[in-house]
Structure 1
Amino acid sequence: MSQPSLFDELDDAEARAAETPVENRLLQVRRIYAEPAAAASPRGRQVLARFPAAEVVEVASHWGVPELHGNAGNVERWVRVKTETLVLGVKKSIATRENGRSANWIAPSAANGCAMACAYCYVPRRKGYANPITVFTNIEQITAHLRRHVAKLGPKPEPDQCDPAAWVYDVGENGDCSVDAVVSDNVADLVALFAELPTAKASFATKWVNRQLLDLDPRGRTRIRFSVMPDDDARLLDVRTSRVAERIAAADDFVAAGYEVHLNLSPVVLREGWEADWTALLQQLSDVLDPATRAQAAAEVIMLTHNEALHEVNLGWHPQAEAALWRPDLQEVKTSQNGQLNVRYRADVKRAAVARLRGLIAQHAPWLTVRYAF
């Protein structure tokens, strides 16, 4: 007679009683690949309770799921995999690395992957095909590391482009925290942590409006960067995200709830009519946002970065996007900060476009400070 697996031994009744099953169009989870230690942890139990109908498949490593990583056949099931699959793992390497652009520091990820499917997203380049959400269940080790890191730094000695007074930690580099917050309380734990740290702020970019985050108490120590772009671009490229108008409409509510709200003008895609469409978007921001939101806002301008490998993947599931993203006549190969070989607009093209967009901001949204552009 075979021995019961770890998953047979989980107290399902106890776990499920503590959580309400998730009902969300983005996540209709049917299968959860889980490392044994991750599934047995309190955070792992929480995730399993939120998706009680999902099949749980034991795996030795969250990096070693043959059905996901390196499986080119998943290109044809790109969105389905993101919708129906989760992974639970224990983060082995917990480290903070320096950044200096959007944030001073990149925090260790509490999750990676995403349920959304933006055609330009860099994350699939690093973790195989489809790349659904992986939740790291040892959140208490991650938050303890961050608390120590902030304490060791002490007060910020001088202002910089990240923030005038606080050390800024990007807590969502490899995913979207608004969606991660549906899956587990990792994001809530991070917001609560930084609410207690007067010298630091959490920061994450998002393309999805999760109003459950309004119930948290960030105390001004979490910066949400709503990514916005012209609606025509978003409808083509921002697959499974909240509509841009919804993101803009949510900004006032998040400011009122105690978040700092910035805007990512991202990505800027150069195509016929881009200047007119960005003008309309900037005018919309000026018309819609409350004075209190405009007064605390700042922006990042991020020109499109693409990648030949991602181009090939996209041709398999969303070729229409590549007509806008893949522009060899305007692009050149550049090596990124993390060593990836990417395709970016040529230096002269990019320089002219950034200058033009800065001019449009000055004309149509002069209240919007540009923290940096690249």
Structure 2
Amino acid sequence: MSITTRDNLLDIRRIYLEPAATELPRGQEILARYPDAELIEIAGHHRIPELYGDERNVARWVRIKTEALVLGVKKSLTARPNGRSADFIAPSTANGCAMACAYCYVPRRKGYSNPITVFANIDKIVAYIRRHAARQGVKSEPNQVDPHDWVYDIGENSDCSVDATISRNVRDLVETFRDLPGAKASFATKYVNRDLLDWDPRSSTRIRFSLMPAADSKLLDIRTSPITERIAAINDFVAAGYEVHVNLSPVVVRDGWLESWAELLEQLDDALNAEARRQLAAEIVFLTHNERLHEVNLGWHPQAEEVLWRPDVQQAKRSQTGGYNVRYRTGHKGRYVAALTDLITAKVPYCRIRYAF
């Protein structure tokens, strides 16, 4: 029998696997978790023709996310400087996602399908992070990321709360940072996984719950935990020893958008206790969309594109990789940012804004 997560996010029926991953303890643990899954050997986790690059998969977008899992080995281990959400982006233990947010940037790179890929060489990843953190030494001066610790984003290309339902990789990272002097883990999530409450992070992991108005989330945050559930979880995660911030992202400009954000901030204020308020901070990211993702979305969720693809208020921007992105027009966006930050100051004045763009 296949194992399913709460909310039936995953019902794994096929595992695409690199042979090297099956030789590792973590790979063997994952295979044992899904004993009835069909096993399909692959040459590399990036080279799966039936998943990536086949436009016919658009119609099966959610089904593939539900039923397929890729098991591989992370070959390139680097910690990239960041400076916004974290000081460094840690080498990933997974990419892809079981959820299907219409604005997610990861599918831009992977083509017409985006199931979870889990990397089995967790021991090498943890060892690399330990060495990298040791080389940094003590943080010499505070910055907007953190006043004391070097912060490593451990979930840039996946949602760690969902990844934790598949393997121990995320728990291994949380426990690593718990005992790593001068360093802290961080990840954004749209999924409330209360199993994490028992991990004893000792303030060395920062969880950023992603929030947006409920109407926007219903349209754009497909297969995620409801906004009310995310807000309700904040006090419990703070009490469990996590640092909890909010990721107000993406901010989508539409008719009545500011009024919707005011309602959301009032809900947040009503829910938080004193301990959660004392440590709260926010990062704000306005929507950037992508032409290729726009075309993919038209094949499975065209309603989302009515608010995401807005040539009347957006301007084109070439990405560093040559892609065609759109973002809110210069001048207008500055006013949008100012309006939202002023609203945050009025509604939740204790919430420090780490950055907004």
Alignment TM class, shorter chain as reference = over 0.9
Which of 130, 140, 152 does residue 123 from structure 2 map onto?
140
- Where structure 2 has 5 or more consecutive residues not aligned to the other structure, the ranges are none
Note closer, same or farther for the CA distance 1:99–1:76 as it changes in structure 2 (3 Å cut): same
Q: Which of residues 112, 123, 143 is equivalent to 2:106?
A: 123
- For residues 51 and 168 of structure 2, the distance between their equivalents in structure 1, rounded to whole angstroms, comes to 25
Task: Give 1:150's aligned residue.
Answer: 133
What SS does the corresponding residue of 1:347 show, helix, strand or coil?
coil
| Per-residue deviation, 1:21 | 4.3
Distance in structure 2 (CA, Å) of the matches to 1:314 and 1:196: 42
Name the SS of the counterpart of 1:109 in structure 2. coil
1:26-76 deviation line (CA, Å, top 9, x unaligned) = 000110000011122111111112222211111111111111011111100
Tell me which residue corresponds to 1:92: 75
Q: What is the match of residue 366 of structure 1?
A: 349
Q: What amino acid is the match of 1:211?
A: R
Choose from 150, 154, 178 the match for 1:195. 178
- Are the aligned partners of 1:21 and 1:49 in contact in 2 as well (CA < 8 Å)? no
Counterpart residue number, 1:251 = 234
Structure 1: distance between partners of 2:171 and 2:255: 42
C-alpha separation between the residues in 2 aligned to 1:49 and 1:233?
38
Matched, 1:174 2:157: yes
For residue 338 of structure 1, report the CA deviation from its aligned partner. Answer: 6.1
C-alpha distance in structure 1 between counterparts of 2:5 and 2:102, whole Å: 25
Q: For the residues of structure 2 that align with 1:128 and 1:38, how far apart are their CA atoms? A: 23
Q: CA RMSD in A?
A: 1.3
- DSSP-derived class of the 2:164 partner: helix
Number of aligned positions between the proteins: 356
SS at match of 1:334: strand
TM-score w.r.t. structure 1 length?
Answer: 0.93
Contact 1:21 1:52 in 2 (8 A): no
The aligned residue for residue 5 of structure 1 is: none
Aligned residue identity for 1:85: A
Distance in 1 (alpha carbons) for counterparts of 2:261 and 2:224: 19
Report the residue type matching 2:92 in the other structure. Answer: S
Kindly indicate whether the alpha-carbon contact (under 8 Å) linking 2:3 and 2:11 is maintained by their aligned counterparts in 1. no
Q: Partners in 1 of 2:87 and 2:190 — Cα distance?
A: 22
SS of match in other structure, 1:187: helix
Return the TM-score normalized by structure 2. Answer: 0.97
Contact 2:3/2:12 (8 A) holds in 1: no
* Residues 1:340 and 1:146: Cα distance change in structure 2 (over 3 Å): farther
- Whole-angstrom distance in 2 between the partners of 1:97 and 1:315: 33
Given the alignment of the two structures, is residue 294 of structure 1 paired with residue 270 of structure 2, yes or no?
no
Aligned residues of 1:22 and 1:50 also touching (Cα < 8 A) = no
- Aligned residue for 2:101, secondary structure, equals coil
**SS of aligned partner of 1:270:** coil
Asked whether the 8 Å contact 2:4–2:12 carries over to 1, the reply is no
Query: In structure 1, how many angstroms separate the alpha carbons of the residues matched to 2:4 and 2:172?
Result: 19
Counterpart Cα distance in 2 of 1:241 and 1:353: 26
Partner AA of 1:271 in structure 2: R
Structure 1: which 4+ aligned runs deviate by more than 3 Å?
A: 20-24, 335-341
Q: Report the more deviating stretch, 135-144 or 48-57.
A: 48-57
Q: What amino acid maps onto 2:179 in structure 1? A: E
Distance 1:337 1:226, change over 3 A: farther
Letter in 2 for 1:309: R
The unaligned stretches of length 5 or more in structure 1 are 1-15
| Residue type of the alignment partner of 1:66 | P
